[in-house]
Amino acid sequence: MIQLNPRVNNPAVGTFYVLLSAIFFSLGGFMIKIVPWQSLSVSGVRSIFALITLLLYMKLIHHPFRLNPSVIFGGICSASMSITFVCATKMTSAANAIILQFTHPVFLILILWIFYHKRPDKRAILTCIIALIGIVCFFFDKITSGGMLGNLLAIISGLSYAIMFQMKKMKGGDFESSLVISYILAFFIGLPTAVHETIHTPSIWLVIVLLGTVQTGLATICLSRGLDAVSPVTAALTSGIEPILNPVLAAIICGETIGPMSIAGGVLVIGSVLAYSLSQIKRPVSAG
């Protein structure tokens, strides 16, 4: 029988899990694009397979389901992150969607400042300003109204993702239980459109199953295990591969391109976030 420790304590192993989760998450861009269904349908149906994967994992590590206000709040935020990201990927380019979602460390800085009264230092403020300039760049490219809405939804997804990173630190929070609620919510929200989808082929269903089991289910499991052993800042730095790998795969498989202003914005967002995350990791060393 497979034995799996409930928690990861080794930082190196935790970093590996976060890296693995970023690779799995990065598959979402092109996979979502090639499924000819509505956004809510994709999000809802993939959640069934993600839920099955998660429940099997929880059974394997003997993790009980918990229910309290913090868990419910985390579930709502996780569902919001998932649904808005799928919608954004359908409406705008995969590159725009993932890079704008990658603003989550900036939102995390603001959340800690506003709600936890943890005043940001000069590096954090500079990061927010540069990332904000980068975000504005995305809206200067020639995009349709749908693309504009997609960009806005990607930013909302980034905000929800920031809260998701804090779920393990919330009083009464339980990451896995929040994900269970998230997948159930996403399924019922997507059900009304999913039942009206008319295109069903083995290849489409294969992609949907992979979206649920690997791109969502295994990705969030790996992220959960990684966050047991590394800080959210370290996780943000390690997951920096996702906004790079995601659009590369979408370009190779779907032939997507990204506008010059979006490229400039992407450099500012990814560069500022990674530089800030790296400075946070190095700071304890310089202080000692």
* Grouped pLDDT means (10 residues each) for the chain, 288 residues: 69 87 93 96 98 96 94 94 94 86 82 83 84 83 72 91 79 92 98 96 97 96 88 72 86 84 85 76 48
Phi-psi region at 172: left, alpha or beta (left = phi > 0; alpha = psi -120 to 50): left
Residue 100: predicted pLDDT = 85
How many angstroms separate the CA atoms of 79 and 91, rounded?
18
**Closest by alpha carbon to 47, among 161, 216, 202?**
216
Residue range(s) defining the domain that contains residue 242: 11-287
Residue 131: predicted pLDDT = 83
How many angstroms separate the CA atoms of 122 and 214, rounded?
39
How many angstroms separate the CA atoms of 226 and 235, rounded?
8
CB distance 236 to 273 below 8 Å: yes
Torsion of CA 44, 252, 258, 218, to 10 degrees: 30
3-state secondary structure of 77: helix
How many angstroms separate the CA atoms of 247 and 226, rounded?
24
Residue type, 83: I
Residue 287: predicted pLDDT = 39
Q: Does residue 3 lie within any of the structural domains?
A: no
Q: Does residue 105 lie within any of the structural domains?
A: yes
Q: Does residue 4 lie within any of the structural domains?
A: no
- Report how many domains make up the chain: 1
Residue 288: predicted pLDDT = 38
Q: Does residue 101 lie within any of the structural domains?
A: yes
In order of 19, 124, 135, 155, 269, the CA distances from 236 in angstroms are 10, 14, 18, 16, 13
Length of the chain: 288
